[in-house]
């Protein structure tokens, strides 16, 4: 008697496993792709086109460039300021000179103290002359220098006039025989040196040749009431055709 075979039960087969495996792989792929996009997005912030540290470096570089440009321009600014200050000083000196004398050397427009002027010496040479600040109360100084100097009256005083002279020419010049200097008061009175021995006398200056410079003082007695109100008239002793040069004091 034949044996009866029981029906064989069939399982789900391989299809569910295949489908499940594909899903898992798909999920893993999405995770990998998503993570890559996320990481790429984070990394993109550091690229030169993004923000972050690169922008900060560019700003720092810009600031350094600006500082270098400013530093490079500063010397020009300082130099310009120095030039302006020099110009202002020169202008101030010119204004001061103009206030004391306009440089023409005439009686109406005299030179100022400290201004150099030139005289013909009458013998083919020239004398560059500068008159310094006048000592208007020099009686004690003069009398102490030499007791044989004339004693001024009570209403008179000695004045001392500093002179600097440079000789130019083929000959020679003697300080004590080179210039004639008079003090002319505002009232027109004239006063001159009467052979006063001064602390720095013209006799002490040696013979001058071309380019030599000598300095000395001229002393004269003037009324106290006429000090500081006149002018000096300066002439070359041997230039008889020359005109006096006037200096405001």
pLDDT at 26: 63
**What is the pLDDT at residue 194?**
87
Low-confidence ranges of the chain (pLDDT < 70): 1-102
pLDDT for position 95: 43
Residue 235 burial (C-beta neighbours within 10 Å; 0-12, 13-18, 19+): middle
E strands in the chain: 116-120, 126-131, 156-168, 179-184, 190-192, 213-223, 231-236, 245-248
Rounded Cα distance, 131 and 204, in Å: 18
Residue 83 CA to residue 93 CA, distance in Å, equals 15
Residues 149/199, Cβ–Cβ less than 8 Å: no
pTM beyond cutoff 0.95: no
pLDDT at 123: 94
pLDDT at 102: 57
pLDDT of the residue at 35: 54
Contacting residues for 231 by C-beta, under 8 A, at least 6 apart: 107, 110, 183, 184, 246, 247, 248, 249
């Amino acid at each position: 008697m034949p044996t009866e075979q029981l029906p064989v039960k069939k399982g789900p087969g391989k299809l569910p496993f295949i489908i499940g495996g594909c899903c898992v792989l798909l999920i893993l792929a999405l995770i990998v792709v998503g993570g890559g996009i996320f990481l790429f997005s984070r990394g993109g912030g550091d690229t030169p086109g993004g923000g972050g540290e690169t922008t900060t470096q560019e700003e720092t570089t810009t600031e350094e460039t600006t500082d270098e440009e400013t530093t490079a321009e500063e010397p020009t600014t300082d130099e310009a300021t120095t030039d302006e200050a020099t110009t202002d000083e020169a202008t101030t000196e010119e204004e001061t000179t103009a206030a004391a004398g306009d440089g023409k050397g005439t009686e109406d427009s005299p030179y100022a103290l400290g201004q150099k002027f030139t005289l013909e010496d009458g013998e083919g040479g020239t004398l560059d002359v500068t008159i310094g600040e006048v000592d208007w109360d020099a009686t004690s100084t003069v009398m102490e220098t030499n007791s044989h100097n004339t004693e001024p009256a009570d209403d008179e005083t000695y004045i001392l006039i500093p002179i600097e002279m440079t000789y130019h020419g083929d000959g020679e010049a003697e300080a004590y025989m080179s210039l004639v200097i008079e003090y002319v008061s505002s009232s027109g009175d004239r006063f001159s040196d009467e052979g006063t021995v001064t602390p720095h006398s013209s006799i002490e200056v040696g013979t001058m040749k071309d380019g030599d410079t000598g300095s000395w003082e001229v002393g004269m007695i003037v009324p106290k009431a006429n000090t500081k109100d006149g002018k000096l008239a300066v002439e070359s002793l041997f230039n008889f055709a020359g005109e006096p040069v006037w200096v405001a004091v």
